[in-house]
Amino acid sequence: MLVFLRGLIRWMPIILFILLLYIDRNNFIHVSGYILLLIIYTTILVLRILYAKEEWHRDPKTSKISKDKTIQKMTDFQSKLEEISNEEE
């Protein structure tokens, strides 16, 4: 069941595009169902992003980096990650 939902979420943009082409725009049920499906999918995406953000700050490796004020560029961030990975080895 969980695998099916993950696959459905992965293919949802294509499904929504095809539905956009084929729904009857004069039929209120079709339009409201499409809008409801779009809102549900958007909510799922936002919740996944917020969950990933929480996990990022919980991870002990990345929480040190996220609090570091010396990081100004992406290269600084990458070098810090490399330092941490070298320390683990």
Measured between alpha carbons, how far is 13 from 71 in angstroms, rounded to an integer?
35
Measured between alpha carbons, how far is 82 from 73 in angstroms, rounded to an integer?
15
Tally of domains in the chain? 1
pLDDT value of residue 64: 65
pLDDT band at 63; cut points 50, 70, 90: low
State the CB neighbour count (10 A cutoff) for residue 78: 11
What's the domain range around 24? 2-88
Contact 62, 56 (CB under 8 A): yes
**pTM exceeds 0.75:** no
Helix (H) / strand (E) containing 67 = none
Which tens digits make up the pLDDT trace of 7-34?
888 999 999 999 999 999 999 999 999 9
